[in-house]
Amino acid sequence: MELSKQYQTENQTGTLPKKGFDFKDFFQLITQSKSVLIGGAFVLVVVICAIFAPVISTHDPYEMNMSERLLTPMEDGHILGTDQYGRDLFSRIIYGARVSLEVGLVSVVLAMVIGVTLGLVSGYYGGWVDTLIMRVVDIFLSFPVLLLAIALVAALGPGIENVILALGFVYWTNYARIVRANVLAIKEEEYIQAAKTIGSNDFRIIFLNILPNCLAPIVVVATLGLGTAIVSEATLSFLGLGIQPPESSWGWTLAFGMKFIREAPHLSVYPGLAIMFTVLGFNLLGDGIRDLTDSKLKRN
């Protein structure tokens, strides 16, 4: 290895290392990765749409106009056409970003918090704790995911908050299993032993020494999970368990558009594109962030 490093002359300035967060460094880091730039841009567009929906949208998304039903894109000033009730599709998609983002992000965070914590505990302590948690995971996995979500929403009552709760509660098992598997390997590493010898307690070892080492798979599962959550919300809404009309989400619009797939394919295509665009953005962003935060790939 770089033996010569040891013989390099000593720097006599005696300065302390730079501290903390540096915006310039951060910006430089981001621009190193194309996927962070592209993914970030995608996500940014979606977030801006969600926040500034009233400004961006051209029509009232809830206003029906039977004389303008099923217009094709660019007809009569409707950028993406209208749906079966004559509502402006573009405006509905812009407003739908709010619901879809909320459902996607919050349910993923919820699932992540539950799953990662239980996975860490399960993998680190092993024994009966591990057995107990993993059997619970098995029970969850033995149900078809959507059926379980439907049952939960049915029990809690329809509504967007309950959909979020249900999705978070259904998808946590992915995180728990992946994190546990990683912890099993990482906890045997010598640096964990070393952490014990300097007197770290279990909490410190689990959250400060083990968790950062399994971030990469967590980020991957989370970015993929985001797409799944958005689509699952669509399914639940389609069954009347999610958002309630006249509100709209992408999934809901897409699902209802399917009825008119021959006459007006744009009704399903554009919400679908919006979902794809968002999920792609988050995936690219997640991948890029993982690469950038991987200390092994860091350049000097």
Partner 1 sequence: MNSNILEVKNLKTTFSSRKASFNAVDGISFHVAKGETLGIVGESGCGKSVTSLSIMGLVKPPGKVSGDQIDFNGVNLLNLPKREMRNLRGNKISMIFQEPMTSLNPVYSVGEQIGETLKIHKKLKGEERKRKVVDLLKQVGIPRADEIYDNYPHQLSGGMRQRVMIAMAMACDPQLIIADEPTTALDVTIQAQILELMKDLQSKKGMSMILITHDLGVVSEVCDRLIVMYAGKIVETGPVKEVLNNPSHPYTKGLLASLPKKGHKEKRLHFIPGQVPAPANWGKGCRFSDRCPYTMSQCETSLPPLMKAGEAQESACWLIPDEEGSTHNGFIEATR
| Residue 235 and residue 251 in contact, taking contact as beta carbons nearer than 8 Å | yes
The answer to the question of residue 55 lying near partner 1 (CB under 8 A) is: no
Q: What is the number of alpha carbons within 13 Å of residue 80 lying toward its C-beta?
A: 24
Euclidean distance between CA atoms 226 and 74, whole angstroms: 31
Please, what is the minimum distance in Å from the beta carbon of residue 197 to partner 1? Answer: 4
| Residue 82 and residue 71 in contact, taking contact as beta carbons nearer than 8 Å | yes
The answer to the question of residue 2 lying near partner 1 (CB under 8 A) is: yes
Site string for partner 1, 24-53 (x = CB under 8 A): ------------------------------
Please, what is the minimum distance in Å from the beta carbon of residue 238 to partner 1? Answer: 42
Amino acid, single-letter form, for residue 298:
K
Site string for partner 1, 184-203 (x = CB under 8 A): -----xxx-xxxxxxxxx--
The phi, psi pair for 81, rounded to 5°, reads: 85, -170
Applying the rule CB under 8 A, the residues between 257 and 296 that interact with partner 1 are 295-296
Considering CB under 8 A, how many residues would be counted as binding partner 1?
37
The answer to the question of residue 21 lying near partner 1 (CB under 8 A) is: no
The residues, any chain, with a CB within 8 Å of residue 220's CB and separated by 6 or more, are 286, 287, 290
The answer to the question of residue 9 lying near partner 1 (CB under 8 A) is: yes
In a 3-state reduction of DSSP, which class is residue 159? coil
In a 3-state reduction of DSSP, which class is residue 73? coil
The answer to the question of residue 128 lying near partner 1 (CB under 8 A) is: no
Residues within the interface to partner 1 (CB under 8 A)? 1-3, 5-11, 13-19, 189-191, 193-201, 204, 209, 212-213, 295-296, 298, 300
